Chain A
């Protein structure tokens, strides 16, 4: 990681120096770690604003699980705090879906539905494989199963609730749809068809996973009396863009807030 090599020490003695993972594994860990870090941050923005107390607990719980996953994944790549706080926007590898602003509760739930279904399918496959991320995936898959269940239940409740909640949920599903195709782009440096020699971070049949995702999300939307959105799932700009460090405008502001304090005290220990 260039960020790791060139940034000033951020002094985080709590994080032991981890031997750098092989480059292909590191690229995957960074991408998945950024997904979890960024979505965790967005969910953290809900604290104190949720529609009901139980959701304060649930959203914070999911945010914490994701933050825990992010810390393990980023630590495979380098120092977690340097990676989180000292990289600029163009160096982040998360998909654009997770950086989308919270919007109303329906938007947050639609984002959770799309992403947690993806994450669950991915971690199930990684947990069953024999690779460097197997251990992490085996632990995370249990958490993510809960996130997915939470998102599915709320999607059904809102879709099949009142006319207003139905409309809001449909609008949210439609609005985020164009960011869903990106999740199934092979992660740089790992999924080349000619490098499935066991050293790559993950070995995933992306088209097969995408088909599972589509079937699952379609079934949930059906139960929720919602229409499966019709627009394109990727565009010229969004196809794999986040994984290449091309993000949406709100993301820079999110990072400005997240990183401000850490960057204001270079070299400090917290």
Chain B
């Protein structure tokens, strides 16, 4: 209960003792209108005061639904995002790189776990969320529908995809929902580390043989535009943005973050000795930012609709892992039931 102001304003100073009452107030038809209005006012005050909303606090249904959607999509992205990189674990060209990549993919599974836990504080279960992922009712980041065709793609993902993710996610460390904000603090630390490793991988290739340099350039050519698409549609087409910014879930617009990312990447590409595949990219003295070319939004929407290069493959592999693992989860549950109290170590 971080939102002291919320409870005072709602007239429930003994908030801890009355959390059940607060819980029932969150239902769609809950309580008299005057009560809900008071809760709403308290919530608005707390958000305006930069207080954190915690799981047992009252929150608008739409706020809850938006968070579930966003956190679940974020968790799903970590899980699906393991696939394009895991694709290279068995072919990593040195033992050092192999160890780094394995550790990274392991971190991603861990991030998925944190995020599913954060989503569960909003009253939805991991199984339910996974089911929605598997049935296509919830999405994951469109970037992971692109294939990793060479080893350099592992570096491009680290530098560009993780870089874009960090640009997006660092502001989420101040998000109004406490559990999400705290998960993001942990995740961003590890993501920054991954991004540096990706950059360093590309640097080694760029400074390596001609073939390695070409491999790195080719990867950057293929990943640059999809990375810019990670910030979502342009501001005038972003349906959730205004409300999310009002709720302080989101802190900056898609286009602001995209611009920030481009400005960060340009000097990094120079020091990598790699070109960004955009003939319109140039410094604009007046704006104090880089201008850049038009994004192919047709491609973006196609990938989002399921027509990207790997959509089918990614979800099929995820479903297969889940389905083929069903007997293992059932075994763990059955074992735990037989030995309940004695063992309790099942992980299903």
Contact = CB atoms under 8 A, between A and B. Distances in A.
Nearest to A55: B347
B65 interface: no
Given A60-B105, A64-B106, A47 B94 contact: no
Contacts of A268: 93, 208-209, 211-212
A54 interface: yes
A49 B316 CA distance: 11
B310 interface: no
A56 B347 contact: no
A56 B89 CA distance: 14
Contacts of B96: 12, 14-15, 71, 270
Interface stretch (B11-19, B35-43, B108-116): B108-116
B56 interface: no
A50 B98 contact: no
Nearest to B211: A265
A257 B102 contact: no
A71 B328 contact: no
Interface string B214-250: 0000000000000000000000000000000000000
B109 A162 contact: no
A168 interface: yes
B202 to A, nearest CB: 11
Interface residues of B, number: 53
Contacts of B110: 57
B95 A71 contact: yes
Most buried by A among B109, B205, B324, B330: B109
B91 A257 contact: yes
Task: Tell me if A's interface is mostly helix, strand, loop or mixed.
Answer: helix
A48 B335 contact: no
Nearest to B97: A270
A269 B204 contact: yes
Interface stretch (B78-86, B175-183, B289-297): B78-86
Contacts of B332: 52, 157, 161
A81 B325 CA distance: 34
Given A45-B89, A262-B93, 9 more contacts: A47-B82, A48-B86, A48-B317, A51-B322, A54-B347, A74-B95, A160-B338, A165-B334, A257-B91
Interface of A: 10, 12, 14-15, 37, 41, 44-45, 47-57, 60-61, 63-64, 67-68, 70-71, 74, 80-81, 84-85, 104-105, 153, 156-158, 160-162, 164-165, 168, 257-258, 260-262, 265, 267-270
